[in-house]
Amino acid sequence: MKAVLLMFVFSLSCFAQDFERVAVYRGLGALVASTVGPGPVAGAQRLYLSYLYIGNTLDVVAVDPETGAHKVFANPAPTESGARCMAAGPDGCIYLGTLPGAHFLKLDPKAGTLVDLGRPSQSEEYIWDVAFGADKKLYGATYPQAKLVRCDPASGKLEDLGRMDPSEMYAHYVAGSDDGFMYAGIGTSRANIAAYEIATGAHREILPAAFQRTGQARVYRGRDGQVYGVLGNDFFRLQGWTASPIKPAEAASRQPDDVLSDGRVIAVSGRKLIITHPGTHETARRDYDYAGNLLDVFRVGFGPDGQLYGSSVLPMNLLRLVKEKGRLLDLGELGGGEIYSFLAFHNRLLAAAYSGFAPLMCFDPAKPFEQGAAEKNPALVSFAKSDSSWRPEAMIAGPDGKVYVGAISGYGKLGGPLAAWDVAGSKVEQYPDVVKDQSVITLAAWKNLLVGGTTVAGGGGSHPAATEARLFLWDTATRKIFFETTPVAGAGTINDLVTASNGLVYGLANRTMFVFDPASRQVKHRVEMPFAEGIYNAAAIGADGKIWGLASEGIFVIDTSKDEVAIIARSPKPITAGFAMSGRAIYFACGPEVWGWNAH
């Protein structure tokens, strides 16, 4: 027994030596907030920029609009990867709200410091917006309990003012009025607007019931000093405890944060400032050489050319591995989100994206990346009733020649769709709510059928109505479900469906691996996995007939002859994203690093 154990440990150590870091990605993170504010000396101005780096650390950059010279302020809160909001305070300082720990930060231009003011609520993860009230205190709108939080810059006192809605998760916007009220935009399952009276601490929601629907309400302070609310095409004037519907033309525009003291308007494109004179419309452009930072890779996949491609997260840059140089070549930006799934299909690389230039994209690797020309590459594919905030985790080639995409629904919604994509004709048919109130997130092909798996979760801010994920069979000819079951009782998510050479379909449901026979429509076997959960849709059949896949701990293998699952090699670092497999080589991401593993 001891000899067997030693042999097993030795085999794992050999596998561990087969891990190789092949590239590290550094790029320009998402510019998520900016404002014009005072500079380090009297009369000077700076444009302050907040860059988001998921999994790493936020950067705040001050740029001189006259010269392009810049300064990077080190992040004083090491847990925080981004600050999606900032505001210039009445004291001449710049204030920010962060994620994922919901801190307030203060940038003092004269002192040249960025300091952490602390975390006003231990329950919150994001401060989505900040604004000053009539009391000259800083207020923040939060997630995931839709709270209002406060900081007194004079004393440093932090306060959790409580939930502004009893069940919604997002307080996404905040604005203050001169008469002593703060307003918060609530969403996403059921939109509302909360009013908070500073003098009394009383608060209640004021959006008329007829307007409370799925979505995210916005609030803002207008150029006229009044506060307005917006939900879709509906506008409201906010005064005291009332939200009065008005025509869009009656609402003042938002109080600007991009105007210099002499009236010039400043914008950012990449690493370039664009400064426009409002009277003459003359434009000046100035470069600033901010280097960027380590940026996480969100997904990898092989293209039809055999090259490894990837997507960065926030923003969504299309990447290609140049292995001999140990770097990821940045081909170009495709939106503000990330690519959730890749598929090599004929001579194209297909991508399905969240918050992209289009929900689906079709890239020809034989041609240059080009988004400025009439013939775009990737070609952008939009379709009726598409939702840019879907999360398209599953994409496979179907048995009927179409490509099928399964996705988690958009913000505030349940019932994520199954979509059938005719790539040649650039046509997409979408089937919403295939399994009632659940989202389709994994797919496998079996004969002329699709085998699909769901999650009970919906889009951000939604509230699950079901408790158990479902496995279903979809007929591609009739375009209907004709069978569904619960393969693992109590499991809320099914993932990594793979059709094995023995004709059975294997999948993961929470911590259980199950085996499903589509012919008899029965679950034949269940076994507890030796890891918490797999990386989504990161499993495939190997040349040996076994199923190889990714967990955060490392590489797992399912022996289909024995219906057993085991971790075969433990990664030197936690695996954060996948998945690409060629022969016995598997590629994946550990944050900003791309790694490869090869079983000999």
- CA angle, 406 as apex, 404 and 483 as ends, to 5°? 85
Look at 541 and 600; give whichever has higher pLDDT: 541
Q: Which of 130, 121, 134, 236 is nearest to 174 (CA)?
A: 130
- Note the pLDDT of residue 17: 57
Q: Which of 201, 152, 155, 166 is nearest to 181 (CA)?
A: 201
Spatial distance between the Cα atoms of 390 and 411, rounded to a whole number of angstroms? 8
Q: Over range 462-489, report the average pLDDT.
A: 97
**Token pair for 277:** 């004179």
Q: Over range 412-426, report the average pLDDT.
A: 96
- Note the pLDDT of residue 362: 97
Res. 324 pLDDT band, cuts 50 70 90: confident
Residue reference for tokens 């691996």: 513
Spatial distance between the Cα atoms of 589 and 339, rounded to a whole number of angstroms? 14
β-pairing verdict for 272-276 and 335-345: unpaired
Q: What mean pLDDT value characterizes the chain?
A: 95
Spatial distance between the Cα atoms of 9 and 208, rounded to a whole number of angstroms? 65
Lowest-pLDDT range of 92-96, 323-327, 434-438: 323-327
Question: pLDDT digit string (tens) for 119-157?
Answer: 999 999 999 999 999 999 999 999 999 999 999 999 999
Residue 72 is classified by DSSP as: E
Q: Using the predicted structure, report yes or no on whether residue 7 has a pLDDT greater than 80.
A: no
- Note the pLDDT of residue 277: 94
Question: pLDDT digit string (tens) for 531-560?
Answer: 988 999 999 999 999 999 999 999 999 999
> Where exactly are the structural domains of the chain?
120-257
Lowest-pLDDT range of 264-273, 347-356, 369-378, 446-455: 369-378
Cβ 545 vs Cβ 562: under 8 Å: no
Q: Using the predicted structure, report yes or no on whether residue 109 has a pLDDT greater than 70.
A: yes
Percent share of the chain, pLDDT over 90: 93
Residue 65 is classified by DSSP as: T
Spatial distance between the Cα atoms of 158 and 138, rounded to a whole number of angstroms? 10
Q: Over range 186-191, report the average pLDDT.
A: 97
Spatial distance between the Cα atoms of 131 and 396, rounded to a whole number of angstroms? 45
Please identify, in words, the CATH class of the domain defined by 120-257: mainly beta
Q: Over range 178-199, report the average pLDDT.
A: 98
- Beta bridge mates, 254: 222
Q: Using the predicted structure, report yes or no on whether residue 40 has a pLDDT greater than 90.
A: yes
Spatial distance between the Cα atoms of 444 and 453, rounded to a whole number of angstroms? 9
- Note the pLDDT of residue 533: 85
- Note the pLDDT of residue 241: 98
Spatial distance between the Cα atoms of 169 and 458, rounded to a whole number of angstroms? 13
- Note the pLDDT of residue 153: 97
Q: Using the predicted structure, report yes or no on whether residue 8 has a pLDDT greater than 50.
A: no
- Whole-prediction pTM value? 0.92
Spatial distance between the Cα atoms of 366 and 304, rounded to a whole number of angstroms? 10
